[in-house]
Structure 1
Amino acid sequence: MTHQSFTIRVIEAIHSIPRGRVATYGQIAGMAGNLRAARQVARILHTCSHSEGLPWHRVVNREGRIALRVSQGYEDQKRLLENEGVEFDGTGRIDLERFLLGSGSDIGAGSLRAKETD
């Protein structure tokens, strides 16, 4: 792994999430080299989403739910994900087996899973 800052690696990981897929905060932290930094990923999303043009809406919590409250952008995030084909069940949960980055037919899924278990 290069000596890039954690923030830069998080930004790159978020940019790598394709349309119609989601990643969890912890998954992004792992991709950036620190599995225990999910809260720091949330902070980076909050401070850098606009300036870095991040697809912030593709990051969800480990339960497959949007972490934002309704008054803080929940509906915007849900609408953006639905526009990309991501589906929610009746409780507002995304099926991570179907839509999580690294599941299904994603290219490079094996390398992503390897990083998650390191």
Structure 2
Amino acid sequence: MKKHILNEDLIYEILSVVEEIPEGKVATYGQIARLIGRDKNSRLVGKVLSMSEFYGNYPCHRVVNHSGRLVPGWKEQRFLLENEGVGFKDDNHVNLKNFLWDC
């Protein structure tokens, strides 16, 4: 199994996709991984987003898991998404049917 080295080029590639997510929409970790040509690296996307604050100000609150679940323990995420008009199907899940980014 080939290991991918996490370097700044890859970090900025991921963050540049996150930067493109429109206000009022969300993307999934897997969707971002596919957009950078790394279909099986959704966890890598999550790792990069967890340290994004060291690279600038990116709308990481617009990224959820494949079922629309919010990041556990990040209470501000829901508030930020609601302020952009994103709807929820329950307390912890975005309504992906209506708010998933069609990229």
Q: Scaled by the length of structure 2, what TM-score is found? A: 0.84
Gaps of 5+ in 1: 103-111, 113-118
Q: Structure 1 residues 83, 41: CA separation in 2 closer, same or farther (over 3 Å shift)? A: same
Give the aligned partner of residue 89 of structure 1.
89
CA–CA distance in structure 1, aligned partners of residues 53 and 17 of structure 2:
13
Matches for 1:62-81 after TM superposition, within 5 Å: 62-69=66-73, 73=74, 75-81=75-81
Flag the structure with higher strand content.
2
**Partner of 1:89: helix, strand, or coil?**
strand
What CA RMSD, in Å, does the superposition of the two structures yield over aligned residues?
1.7
Residue 19 of structure 1 aligns to a residue whose secondary structure is coil
Q: How does 1:1-118 map to 2 (within 5 A)?
A: 5-69=9-73, 73=74, 75-102=75-102, 112=103
What TM-score comes out, normalization by structure 1 length? 0.74
The answer to whether the 8 A contact 1:14-1:56 is kept is yes
User: Quick one: percent identity of the two aligned structures?
Assistant: 36
Structure 2: gaps of 5 or more residues: 1-7
Larger relative helix fraction: 1
CA contact (8 A) 1:23 1:59 kept: yes
Q: Secondary structure at the match of 2:94?
A: coil
* Amino acid in structure 2 at the alignment position of 1:59: V
